[in-house]
Every structure is written in structure tokens, then in C-alpha cells.
Amino acid sequence: MSAPEQQVASEGDSRTFNNAVRHQYRVLSDEEKAQMVRIKDLGAEFLTAIDGLGASREYSLAKTKVEEAVMWAVKGLTA
């Protein structure tokens, strides 16, 4: 990677910068932005709790499903 990656806040209006798939976004309301941050915070908290349980295939699958749930919830919110 030659140029440093630019970090874009997921709730920021410039979030299309590093997205090669969705080319247009609607501007989110402040309430929607707060909801998105809450969904992601809850997901991160759940992932941390699972990490504390140890390592196993089942925990790995659970973490994947949490990530998927967060993705779909955010997609639903931002559609």
C-alpha cells in the first residue's frame, strides 16, 4: 500500500470515501447516526464478551454471526 489509508467515521457523511460497492448514500439524520453507533457498540460489546469465553469453532461461528447481524442492522438503517 503506497498511500496511507484514510480513516472515515462510519457515522460521518463522508463514509462513501472507501466504499467500492455502494456508490451513493443518503445523508443520515443525527438520530440515525446515533442508532448506527449504538448498534455497532452493542456488537463490539458482544464480541468482547465472546472473546472472554476462550477459543473454539463455536465461538468463532458466534462471532461471525454477531458481525453479520451488525452488518444487516446497519444496512437496514442506512438503506
How do the pLDDT tens digits run along the chain, 79 residues long?
A: 444 556 667 677 666 565 667 667 778 999 999 999 999 999 999 999 999 999 999 999 999 999 999 999 999 998 8
Per-residue pLDDT, 53: 97
Q: Does pTM top 0.85 for this prediction?
A: no
Q: 64: exposed, middle or buried (C-beta count within 10 Å: 0-12, 13-18, 19+)?
A: exposed
Going from N- to C-terminal start, the domains of the chain cover: 30-78
Per-residue pLDDT, 1: 41
- The three cell numbers of residue 44 are 463490539
- The three cell numbers of residue 61 are 461461528
Per-residue pLDDT, 59: 98
